[in-house]
Amino acid sequence: MNYESIGIPLLAMLCQAAIKGGSKVIEEYKKKKLSEPEKELMIAAAKLGEFLILSTDEVPNWVRVGRKDFCDINDPAVTAKYLYAFKNLCERGYIEYDGGSLFRLTYPGFEKARQLAAKIKSKGVS
């Protein structure tokens, strides 16, 4: 799958399917360790819990959290890496679709994101 071309409808369906899939499916997936890009996205969203999937002619789709864009117009692999991480977080049940280009952390998503952010803060890393 070309992760640069993942569209909002597909991501919305993935998020909804994971949440509707039942707690057993989500719990099994959550046992897998988060990748570094997944952690970065979760930590960035820990405070407000909002993600945007944006698009331009230069970059087909990318993830934005707050004012931080998770893309690089000079390296499409960076953009693909974060879209892939975002998709995985949807499949884990940490993110739900809210409409338009907006996605939000679920309650378990907020718990995990804030846990990760607190761990970084306690290590003295910003």
Instruction: Identify the sign of the CA torsion 100, 39, 30, 32.
Output: positive
The pLDDT tens digits of the residues spanning 85-116 come to 999 999 999 999 999 999 999 999 999 999 99
Domain boundaries, the chain: 3-122
The pLDDT tens digits of the residues spanning 11-58 come to 777 777 776 665 555 566 556 799 999 999 999 999 999 999 998 887
pLDDT of residue 1: 47
pLDDT of residue 58: 77
pLDDT of residue 98: 94
What is the three-class DSSP state of 22? Answer: coil
CA distance 34 to 19: 18
CB 59 within 8 A of CB 71: yes
Task: Kindly state the average pLDDT of the residues 59-64.
Answer: 89
Angle, to 10 degrees, between the axis of helix 8-20 and the axis of helix 76-91?
30
pTM over 0.85: no
Q: Which residues, 6 or more positions from 105, have their beta carbon under 8 angstroms from its beta carbon? A: 42, 45, 49, 50, 94, 95, 96, 113
Task: Kindly state the average pLDDT of the residues 66-79.
Answer: 93
